[in-house]
Structure 1
Amino acid sequence: MKNSEGWDGKLRMEPKAVITNPEALEDSDYSDPEAPPVEEIDADEDLSAVLTFSSIDQDIDLVHCRVSSIAALHLDRFNKLRRLCLRQNQISRIDFPSNVAATLTELDLYDNLISHVKGLEEFHGLTSLDLSFNKIKHIKNVSHLVKLTELFFVQNKISNIEGLEGLNALKNLELGANRIREIENIDHLSALEELWLGKNKITEMKNLDSLSNLRIISIQSNRLTHLHGLSALPNLEELYLSHNAVTDLAGLEKNTTLRVLDFSNNQVSHLEHLSTLKNLEEVWGSNNQLASFEEVERELKDKEKLETVYFEGNPLQTKGPAVYRNKVKLALPQISQIDASMFILDSFLRSLD
């Protein structure tokens, strides 16, 4: 479920996109302003009457309906329920009938009032669990959910990564917008492909060496000053680390599969250490201290797959805005996009050569 600009409330980043409503990360009581109006229902018991799907229905969506009691929905009527979405309600307690637990594979409780993870003891078949935008302080009582492939705890009050033992099938872990200071207790998640840690208090990349299947790391808006700790990730394709305090790009030399590199809003002054990254397709480096077009050409011209670069807000652009785009195009003739602007005609003509 996404708003009109494509943002789904998590710290996800679509290709060539940025978070469109960052205020959600600052306000612990935030609710999606694009959500439909609250349905006028007097009580949860009235919702039970509205919920008239047949007993063989597998998907139920009750979004923004003022649900406060799961029990009042009488979900025991549904014997084959596979996916249940209760986003943006007023649920504080997880309390489902046993027959729902036996069949459910996807449970979405995003944006409710849950403070403790309890009541999931019988949900052994869950593959996706979303508890984002709640009031949870500790990750507990999920380690028995061994079939989980997706787990979301975005925008809670979590200080420690813990309680994930046994989740060996997990591919996507989202912990953005919490209070985490250290990457820890995830070294056993050998199947993990995506790790989202934006908007925390992390100072270094650590304890990642065993996660050889990681393809995406998002760690923007933290407290990083360097990029050491990534060299053992041979399959890393996308790295998002904007809004940190990184001063150089050392530490990426062995990440030769990297396609997308976003180091916007840091303190990088040179494009060194990128010579081995032959598969780069996008380089986002806006609002740093890059000043040399010669260095841009030297470090990036040989990247034949490179299509997009973002350099606005650097001395490259601010000291000569009138000639900036032409100089970038001369330095990197293979690209088709500079900042937010694309030159499609140039790309089309090159394709005819």
Structure 2
Amino acid sequence: MPPRKSTRSAKGKQVEPEPAAAAAPPPPAPEEVEAELTTEQPAATTDMEEQEALQEGSGDAGLDLRERDDAPEAGSSSSSGAAAGVDLSERMNKLKELRKRMGESARANRQDVIAEVNAQRASARTLAKLERKRQQAEAMGEKARAAETGEDLERKKNWEYSIEDNERWDKKLARKERRADYSFTGLTSSTGLSDYDDVTRRKYKKDLDDFKPDLATYNKQREAALQSDALVASATGGEVGPVLDGNGLYRDANSFVYADHKPSEDQVDRMISKLNSDIDKRQKRSRKRDDDDQGDITWINEQNRQFNRKLSRYYDDVTRETRENFERGTAL
């Protein structure tokens, strides 16, 4: 039964009583309760089935929406993959082309380097030989033109030389002839028996021909030596002038000044080039030469072959007629 309400309020006011409630209906019988439960059960099951169907429908719709959303993404990924493949192939082709160009440039550079090295290998001897051939060709051309015109070529050339040039030329020819008067046997017509001292002297004379004095450096040293404070009067004119310091420029065995000379870089380079030239000549002279004899074999070993070559070099000119007579059989 519902609870009763008090007739008095908190402030002491009197409240009218409520009307009595209606009588409660009697409780249902157990058979009626079972019947109601059996009738209400299918309705609940139907409601649950409807909810599951709605959920399934919503799930299918979500899957459809996902598939629709994923379809453009798959298409875009496939298109991007194709574009990436095209870019990679283009890059590979470009890399191959660059490598090809690099190889061609490397080969061209190598060929240029080889050509430059071969051009630099032309030694001074080859260039001098070409220059001599050119001068000989020019001389032959002048001689041919002089023969056609009937002009005296020697007289024409002599007009270009002075007396000093002629004297220097005669001295050079005399020196050349004097040095050429030398045989491998050691006997010369001018000096007699030749020995190692004579060979050394000839080598020294030949080196002096290649030696060019540095007159500019000599003049500077001479000017430095003239900076002396000592003054003397000459015996003839009485003129006063500076005296050359013997210890500064012209030294002898009694000089106390030594080891103060410092050669320049040019002089050092000249000395190095001279030493290298001597070493090169010595190596070429002592190298083993190929056997280029095409005639009869007149030697029994290498030493005998070299000796025969020396004999031929020095005596072939004077024994040519005798050898020809022996070959013809008219020597006796």
Same fold (TM over 0.5): no
The answer to which structure, 1 or 2, has the higher relative contact order (CA under 8 A, 6+ apart) is 1
Larger Rg: 2
TM-score for both structures, normalised by structure 2: 0.18
TM-score for both structures, normalised by structure 1: 0.18
Higher helix share: 2
